[in-house]
Every structure is written in C-alpha cells, then in structure tokens.
Structure 1
Amino acid sequence: MDPDGFASDLARKPEVLSRLAERIGADNPWAAVDPATTERVVFLGMGSSAYAGAIAAARLRAHGFLAASELASTRLLPAWGPGTLVVATSATGGSAETLDALSRLPAGVTTVALTNTAGSSITESCSAVVDLAAEPERGGVACRSYQHTLALLMALELHLSGHDTAGLVASIATAAEASAHLLDTEAAWRPEVADALLGPTGTHLVAPAHRFCSAQQGALMLREGPRRPAVGCETGDWSHVDVYLTKTTDYRMLVFAGSEWEDQMAEWTTLRGTTVVGVGDTVPGARLEVRYPGDDHDDVRLLTEVLVPELVAARAWQETAKG
C-alpha cells in the first residue's frame, strides 16, 4: 500500500469514471444476464464490495425484486437454487472468502464475477464476467473500483427492471464532473475539514440508509490509509446507537446530507457542541459545508460524496508516511 499512489488514484477518478460512462452508454455490461430467467439476486463480497452490494440489494427490493446482499464469509448463504443470479464482487479477483462462498452455492444458480482484474481466480469460478474498468489502483486501496462497483450495480438494476441507461450515464458523467470539482478545489476546503474531523478520539461518518455505504466506505478509508479510528453509522440509527459518545468524547462527525432524520440527530449534536461537517447540502448544526455540482441529485451523491473523506484520508496518510 502506498499513500502517494492512493492520492494519484483519487486524482484520476474523473477521467476513469468518464470512460465508464461512455462504456455503459455504448454497450450493456450485463448483456449476459437474462432478466426473464432471473427470479432472485444475491450479492456476495467483503469490505467495500459488501458495502456497495447492500445498497444495490436494497434498491432492487424497492423495485419489488427479491434480492439479498451477504458477506461472503457467512455460513448462511441463501439456498435459492435455479433462477438465482449471484453477483460476486472482488476488485482484485482473489478475495479468499468470496472464492470460498462461490464453492458453496446451491446447484443451478447463475454466477457473474464483478472484478477489476482480468484472468483472476474469481473469473474462473463464475460463468460470466463484468469488468469494473477502474484500471489498476496504484495505492492498493479500493477507491475507483468501489465507485465503479456502485455504478455497474446501478446498471444491473436498470437491466433487470427493463429501463435504459441514459439517466444513469448522465449521473455518472455528472459525478465525474463533481469529482473533478472537489479535486480542483481541494485546497479551499480540505485543510479546514480535516482539522475539524480528525479529532483525538476518532471520526464518525453518518449517511442516510439509502446511501449508508458512503459512511462505511469513508470510515474504511480513514482506517485503511492513515490508520485512524473511524466508524460509519446510518443517520436515523445514530440517535439509537452512537449518540452516547457525544457526551463523553471529543466527537467529530461528517454527515452526508439527505436524511429526514437529521433534525433529530441535531437535537443532540447542538446540545453537546459536537463538531459537525456537512457534505452535499446544508446539515443542521454543521460548522462547515462541502458542496459540489450535482449534489441535489441522489445518484450523483452516491457516486461522488465519498471522495471528501478519501481526500482527507489521503493527505493524512501522506503526512503520516513523511513523519
């Protein structure tokens, strides 16, 4: 793992994501999947792949599909059999738990590998392959591949529900522009945001349920790179499980905007003087706010917003490496 490589990987997000938009617009990456014979969907993965899979499954369920997301390490895989599509995601193509899960599936399922590594072990274990097209990540951290996983699983959602990808392609292109904006303006917002968030007792990231993966991925970036304590939570659930620490710690919180439960959360954060940074819109009680083009569109938020903690993590990691 390399901090400078990670920073370089982030800098190339707009370029590589723009190419993904063009690719999805020109060719259906899920053409090998037959919607007519797909009755159920299971997403398998670990870490970032699992975060993205959980949101993809929830979005499919909201459309009326029977869909589940499971950690590949579980011993309780759905025994759904024929008519089931299993999407196994591993950027490297070598996640031991995911490969093991593929060996334990019931007979008759259709398996598709979603990976960034051609010819990897996972491609040999599945009947079809979808390329993440995120290009090699020099830093050794799943950042572009995570972003591309979300985009491609959104494309699968449209494929299974019989809709074209025009709207998604536009959202991906806007997310590329939004990512470029955050990168170009980093010097104006990142130092102050980092000072606010990187506290002595860690960083807490909060996102609405339909984008919970952003909080999980953002927290992972702070743990994986600079090795700082960080935790992700869902905005509504925060008032039930995380609020307690605002009373006893120097609590620093990044809030990805868009939940109807922000006012409830703010009752506690305001009362206890919590340091809050909002991303993507005005957040009650926030001391700082980071905005970007397209942040009024939920799919653009999903594909863009995690770049804020990623850049905070990248620079903190670089500083740690220098010291």
Structure 2
Amino acid sequence: MNPDLFLADLEAKPAALADLAAALDAEDPFAGLPEGIDRVLFLGMGSSRFAAGVAALRMRAAGVNAWAEYASAAATFPPDPRTLVVPISATGGSRETLDAVERYAGGASLLMALTNTPGSPITEAANLVVPMHAREERGGVACRSYQHTLALLLALESRLTGAGRNVPALVRRAAEATTDLLERRDDWLPRVLELLDGPHGVYMIAPTERLSSAEQSALMIRECPRRPSDACETGDWAHVDVYLTKTLSYRALLFPGSRYDEQAMDWVRERGSTIVTVGGEVKDAAAAVRYAHDDDPDVRLLTETLVAELVAATWWSAQ
C-alpha cells in the first residue's frame, strides 16, 4: 500500500470511468445471461459487499428477488438452476469469496464472476466473467474497483428489470462529477480536513439507498490513515450512534437524501457536533461539498465517496 499511488489512483478515476462507459457502449457484459432467472445472490467481502448490498436493495424495490450475502457466511441459499450467483472480488482472490464459490461450482446455479483481474481464481469456475475495467489499483486500495462495481451492478439491474437505463451516460456524468471534485479540491478540501480532524475519529451517515457510500468512506479512513471511523444508516443513527454525540468530539460526513436527515440534525444542534454534508445542503451543517450533477442520486452513489477518499489520502500522506 502506498499513499502517493493511492492518490494517483483517485486522480485516474475519470479516465477509468470513460473506459467503462466505452466498454458498456460497445458490448452488453450481461448478454450471456439466460432468461428465467428467479433469484440473484451476490457474494463478497468489504467494498464488494458494500456495493452489492445497495444493488440488491434496488433490485428488490424493482421486483427482483436479490440478496447480498457475506461470502464468509456458513450457509445461504442452496444451488438452484434459476439462481444467478454473482461472486465479486476486484483481485479475484478473496479467500472467503473463493470458498463460497466452491458451494456453487459445477452445480445447478449459474455463476457470474465480477472481477478486475482477468484469469484470477474467481474466474475458473464461472460460467460468465464480467470485467470491471477499473485498471490496476497501484496504491493497493479498492477505490476505482468499488466505483466500477456499483456502475456494473446498476447495468445488471437495468437488464434484469427491463428499465432500459442508459448506464453509459450515467457513468459519463459520474466522470464529470468526479473531475469537478478533483479539479476544485483546493477550494473545499482544506476546510473539510480542518473540520473532520478531531481526537475521536470520523463517522459516516447515509440513507439506506446509499449506505455503501458511508461504509466505503469509513473503510477508506480506517484502511489508509488508520484512523477510527464507522458508518451508520441515517434513520438508524438516532437509535445507534446518537449516543456518541454526548461524550465524543463527534465529527461526521453526512450524505443527504434521507427523510430522517433533520432528525439527526436536531441532535447535532443540541450537542454541538460537527457535520459536513456531501452533495447537498442541510441546515446548520458546518460545511457542504457540492459538485457537478449532485442533484442526481445515482451520480451521488457513484461519486460521493471521493470526498472521504481524498481526506484519507491527505492524512495518509502526512504520516
């Protein structure tokens, strides 16, 4: 792991997204899927599971029987010819995911591997392999691969639901949003660093529909500068993390969009906690980071973790 290469990986996001959009324009990566899929089961760990959790929620909301499981779970759905099993691993070598694949390899279920590493072990038993097109992450941190996983799962959602969403256009809008944040970082990043730099870590709050943004952001703070960080769903925050505001110098990134944003902010005001919002304005937040196309929730989903990633890269480099 290398902080300078991690920053370079972040700066290469727009170009990698352009590659992904072009690949999606050129070919449907899911063209090999059969008709009559009854269930989709995502298997992964870490960032892969974060992305899959949001994708499964979206699919269920659209009427698709989808579930995201820890690959390390001892048991989950049994093999079935109408179940599409999607193991996700950027490296293609996650031990837990490979172990989970063994339960389905050569069986009744269709295996579709999603990976950033062609020819990796996860592809060996797969009936279909979908490349992430995220390029090599030389910094050793899953950042572009997480973003590309989300984009590809949105494309899978569109195919399975028949929504006909123009995902390549969405990916290009996310590239523009990412470019905007990168090019203007000197305007917003110093203030965000100052506000979040406290003695008790950084917390992340996001609505259920974009919970992966909070989970991935917290992981970046833990993995790179190795500072305390955790994620919470916005509505659940009033039942779970609100207690921290009473005893800690509580500092958080809030990804707005939940009907319960104001409920959380009531406690923040009462206890003098520090909130920075990403992609929207919330009354009494200490600062707001805005960017191009942040009025589109799907662009937010694909873009907003960059704020925490750049915070993590800066703190990491300063160590």
User: C-alpha distance in 2, partners of 1:67/1:230?
Assistant: 29
Aligned partners of 2:39 and 2:66 also within 8 Å? yes
Aligned partners of 1:262 and 1:284 also within 8 Å: no
Code of the residue aligned with 2:160 in structure 1: it is L
Q: 1:5 is matched with which residue?
A: 5
Which shows bigger deviation, 74-83 or 151-160? 74-83
Q: Deviations over 1:287-320 (max 9, x none)?
A: 1000001000010000000000000000110111
Secondary structure at 1:33's aligned position in 2? coil
The one-character-per-residue Cα deviations of 1:179-202 (angstroms, maximum 9, x if unpaired) are: 001000111111110111121001
- Kept in 1, the 8 Å contact 2:79–2:108? The answer is no
Deviations 1:262-310 (CA, angstroms, capped at 9, x unpaired): 1110110000000010111102320100000100001000000000000
Equivalent in the alignment of 1:133: 133
Counterpart residue identity of residue 146, structure 1: Y
1:22-60 Cα shifts (integer Å, max 9, x gaps):
2212211111112x2211000000000000000111011
The answer for unaligned runs of 5 or more in structure 2 is none
Matched residues in 1 for 2:197 and 2:80: separation?
47
> Structure 2 length as normaliser, TM-score?
0.98
What is the match of residue 250 of structure 1?
249
CA distance in 2, matches of 1:295, 1:155: 20
Per-residue deviation, 1:171: 1.5
Amino acid at match of 2:97: T
Deviation at 1:80, TM superposition (A): 5.0
Q: Aligned partners of 1:89 and 1:117: how far apart in 2?
A: 11
- SS of the equivalent of 1:223 reads helix
Match of 1:117 in 2: 117
Gaps of 5+ in 1: none
CA displacement, residues 136-171 of structure 1 (integer Å, 9 cap, x when unaligned) = 0010000000000000000000111123342x2222
Partner of 2:155: 155
Matched length: 318
Question: Secondary structure in 2 aligned to 1:243?
Answer: coil
CA contact (8 A) 1:255 1:283 kept: no
Q: Distance in 2 between matches of 1:284 and 1:42?
A: 39
Partner of residue 52, structure 2: 53
- Report the equivalent of 1:39: 38
Cα drift, residue 105 of structure 1:
2.9
How big is the alpha-carbon RMSD for the aligned residues of Structure 1 and Structure 2? Answer: 1.0
* Aligned residue type for 2:88: T
Once residues 268 and 189 of structure 1 are traced to their aligned partners in structure 2, the CA distance between those partners, rounded to angstroms, is 25
282-291 or 212-221, which moves further after superposition?
Answer: 282-291
Q: Deviations over 1:1-28 (max 9, x none)?
A: 0100100000000111012112212211
Distance in 1, Cα, partners of 2:225 & 2:289: 22
The superposition leaves residues 53-105 of structure 1 with CA deviations (integer Å, 9 ceiling, x where unpaired) of 00111011001111110000001221251100011000000000000001123
Distance 1:223 1:95 in 2: 19
Match of 1:143 in 2: 143
1:208, 1:258 within 8 Å by CA — same for their partners in 2?
A: yes
1:73 counterpart residue number: 72
In the alignment, which residue of structure 2 is the partner of 1:187? Answer: 186
Distance in 1 between residues matched to 2:81 and 2:259, nearest whole Å: 39
Q: How far, CA to CA, are the matches of 1:295 and 1:112 in structure 2?
A: 32
Amino acid at match of 2:33: V
Q: Distance in 1 between matches of 2:317 and 2:43?
A: 32
- One-letter identity of the residue aligned with 2:28: N
CA distance in 2, matches of 1:269, 1:140: 35
TM-score of the aligned structures, taking structure 1 as reference length: 0.97
Contact 1:77 1:105 (8 Å CA) reproduced: no
* Structure 1 residue matching 2:111: 3-state secondary structure: strand
In structure 2, distance between residues paired with 1:311 and 1:33: 37
Letter in 2 for 1:149: T
The answer to whether the 8 Å contact 2:104/2:111 transfers is no
Give the letter for the 2:227 counterpart: R
Runs of 4+ in structure 1 off by over 6 angstroms are none
In 2, Cα distance between equivalents of 1:32 and 1:59: 22
Q: Residues 64 and 160 of structure 2 are in contact (CA less than 8 Å); yes or no, is this contact kept in structure 1?
A: no
In structure 1, what is the equivalent of residue 282 of structure 2?
283
Does structure 2 conserve the Cα–Cα contact (< 8 Å) formed by 1:24 and 1:165? no
**Aligned mates of 1:284, 1:81 — CA distance in 2:** 50
Q: Does 1:229 align with 2:219?
A: no
